[in-house]
């Protein structure tokens, strides 16, 4: 199934039913009083989180949702039937945002959590409500109100404790395969991972955490290069970032430069996101000579000026991965315990996460607008180029063409 992490839809709740003006008419009761019933209440629209879905792809093709209109009232004080509610199923981790105001309507983080996004209209009143001592036969009734209408944006962010960072082919997917039951695609070409993958990592029989693998970043990702920043927002709800660095890249690039480039792209995208704890993993050390492995790894750390926690692993051979898992599990448990025991720290972390959510949302929207503008300019430039350069050689054309390989 295609992975879609954002969709804009319109929701319209059902209108309320109309009240009616009716009078009691029975044999031997020539002057029966008013008995007009009220209209029913229009159907509401809810958004509900569930573990049975993992993508918002359905809302890319169906964008308008409307709840049922309520029935009108009837005589004999019969109220109209209320409209049936509409429930939209979304994955856990979906945030609902009002596109007009930018306000967050709800954040669905647990299975079964439900949020009202459009309230149904109130039913109209029958003429029974308008009788009085001076008006025994009122002919007045009211119509039902319109149901609420709004445009909302559904934003899906995966819920994970640890997020994997790194260049394409750094070994992120191989690492998550080694420590969890997740089986993302692994191959020897860049951008093998096209969507986020989640894996539950078991440290012990009763200790576990969730790890997220996102597509690899390249230099210039914050400006739209590669897969751009489309998936960086999925790291906004993690506690720790695991930076995977290939110690001997297959393309011959400098691992120190690659590591610095990833951290810089993180800062460019979100300075708040860059403040999350980062654990460095020097991966694919099995490709180094045993005699020079320690010396090479020490050289990389000195060039990077790295002072944080660091591990040496081989995801393919599952070497050194257990030590990383135990360290991450201990750090996550310490954070959780401190949030429970220290209210000030818990409030500080909540404010930090709220700021991070808002910052990543703004950056993602701004980046999408910039990307659309860039594509528009490219299309315009392409049209002009076709008119002005009909006799260009094929070799020259290849310099400006971005090629995507689909397998």
Predicted local distance difference test score (pLDDT) of residue 176: 83
Measured over all CA atoms, what is the biggest interatomic distance in the chain, rounded to whole angstroms?
111
And the tokens for 312? 């040496």
The backbone torsions φ and ψ at residue 91, rounded to the nearest 5 degrees and listed phi first, read: -70, 155
Whether 283 is covered by a domain: the verdict is yes
Beta strand ranges found along 141-192 (DSSP E): 149-156, 162-165
Which residues are 320's β-sheet partners?
none
Query: Is residue 201 helix, strand or coil?
Result: strand
- 112 in Cβ contact with 101 (< 8 Å): no
- Residue 383 and residue 251 share a domain: no
And the tokens for 202? 């078991």
- Residue 240 and residue 176 share a domain: yes
Residue pointed to by tokens 């994955």: 91
**Spatial distance between the Cα atoms of 214 and 232, rounded to a whole number of angstroms:** 8
Percent pLDDT > 70 in the chain is: 85
Whether 1 is covered by a domain: the verdict is no
- 109 in Cβ contact with 49 (< 8 Å): yes
**Domain that residue 320 falls in:** 162-362
Q: Which is more confidently placed, 398 or 271? A: 271
Most confident of 22-26, 240-244, 284-288, 376-380: 240-244
Tens digits of residue pLDDT in 91-106:
888 889 998 888 889 8
Whether 404 is covered by a domain: the verdict is no
Q: Given 108, 129, 156, which residue is the final one in a domain? A: 156
Tens digits of residue pLDDT in 20-38:
999 888 777 777 789 899 9
- Residue 358 and residue 370 share a domain: no
Under the banding of pLDDT at 50, 70 and 90, the label for residue 402 is very low
- Residue 259 and residue 148 share a domain: no
* pTM confidence score: 0.65
**Spatial distance between the Cα atoms of 172 and 321, rounded to a whole number of angstroms:** 12
Q: What's the CATH number where 283 sits?
A: 3.40.50.300
Q: Given 134, 156, 178, which residue is the final one in a domain? A: 156
**Spatial distance between the Cα atoms of 373 and 367, rounded to a whole number of angstroms:** 10
The backbone torsions φ and ψ at residue 131, rounded to the nearest 5 degrees and listed phi first, read: -75, 150
Q: How many domains does the chain have?
A: 3
Q: Given 156, 188, 209, which residue is the final one in a domain? A: 156
Tens digits of residue pLDDT in 116-173:
999 999 999 999 999 988 888 898 999 999 999 999 999 887 778 888 888 887 788 8
- Residue 297 and residue 216 share a domain: yes
- Residue 315 and residue 381 share a domain: no
Which residues are 34's β-sheet partners?
23
**Spatial distance between the Cα atoms of 362 and 382, rounded to a whole number of angstroms:** 30
- Residue 373 and residue 351 share a domain: no
Q: What's the CATH number where 57 sits?
A: 2.70.210.12
- Residue 376 and residue 324 share a domain: no
The mean per-residue pLDDT over the stretch 222-251 comes to 74
Q: Which is more confidently placed, 6 or 64? A: 64
- Residue 182 and residue 256 share a domain: yes
**Spatial distance between the Cα atoms of 32 and 23, rounded to a whole number of angstroms:** 6
- Residue 124 and residue 17 share a domain: yes
Whether 407 is covered by a domain: the verdict is no
Predicted local distance difference test score (pLDDT) of residue 47: 94
- Residue 175 and residue 143 share a domain: no
Degrees, nearest 5: CA angle 293-299-305: 135
Percent pLDDT > 90 in the chain is: 23
Whether 403 is covered by a domain: the verdict is no
Q: Which is more confidently placed, 119 or 264? A: 119
Whether 406 is covered by a domain: the verdict is no
In 6-115, alpha helices (H): 58-61
- Residue 368 and residue 228 share a domain: no
């Amino acid at each position: 199934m295609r992975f879609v992490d954002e969709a804009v839809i319109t929701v319209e709740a059902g209108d309320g039913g109309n009240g009616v003006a009716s009078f009691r008419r029975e044999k031997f009761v020539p002057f029966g009083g008013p008995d007009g019933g009220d209209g029913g209440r229009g159907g509401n629209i809810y958004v509900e989180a569930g573990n049975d879905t993992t993508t918002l792809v359905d809302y890319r093709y169906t964008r308008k949702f409307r709840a049922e209109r309520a029935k009108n009232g009837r005589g004999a004080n019969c109220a109209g039937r209320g409209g049936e509610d509409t429930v939209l199923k979304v994955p856990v981790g979906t945030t609902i945002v009002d596109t007009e105001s930018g306000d967050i309507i709800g954040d669905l983080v647990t299975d079964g959590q439900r949020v009202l996004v459009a309230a149904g209209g109130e039913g109209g009143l029958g003429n029974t409500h308008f009788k009085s001592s001076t008006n025994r036969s009122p002919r007045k009734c009211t119509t039902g109100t319109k149901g609420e209408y709004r445009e909302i944006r559904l934003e899906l962010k995966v819920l994970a404790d640890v997020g994997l960072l790194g260049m394409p082919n750094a070994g992120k997917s191989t690492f998550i395969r080694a420590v969890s039951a997740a089986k993302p695609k692994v191959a020897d070409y860049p951008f093998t991972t096209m969507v986020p993958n989640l894996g539950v990592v078991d440290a012990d029989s009763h200790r576990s955490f969730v790890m997220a693998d996102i597509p690899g970043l390249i230099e210039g990702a914050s400006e739209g290069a590669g897969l751009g920043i489309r998936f960086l927002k999925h790291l906004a709800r993690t506690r720790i970032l695991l930076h995977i660095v290939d110690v001997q890249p297959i393309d011959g690039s400098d691992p120190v430069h690659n590591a610095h480039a990833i951290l810089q792209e993180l800062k460019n995208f979100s300075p708040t996101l860059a403040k999350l704890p980062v654990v460095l993993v020097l991966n694919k050390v099995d490709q180094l000579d045993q005699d020079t492995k320690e010396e090479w790894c020490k050289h990389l750390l000195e060039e990077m000026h790295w002072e944080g926690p660091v591990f040496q692993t081989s995801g393919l051979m599952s070497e050194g991965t257990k030590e990383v898992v135990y360290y991450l599990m201990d750090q996550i448990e310490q954070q959780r315990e401190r949030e429970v025991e220290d209210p000030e720290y818990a409030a500080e972390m909540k404010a930090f996460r709220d700021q991070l959510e808002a910052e990543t949302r703004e950056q993602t929207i701004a980046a999408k607008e910039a990307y659309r503008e860039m594509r528009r300019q490219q299309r315009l430039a392409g049209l002009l180029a076709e008119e002005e350069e009909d006799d260009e050689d094929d070799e020259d054309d290849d310099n400006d063409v971005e090629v995507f390989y689909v397998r």
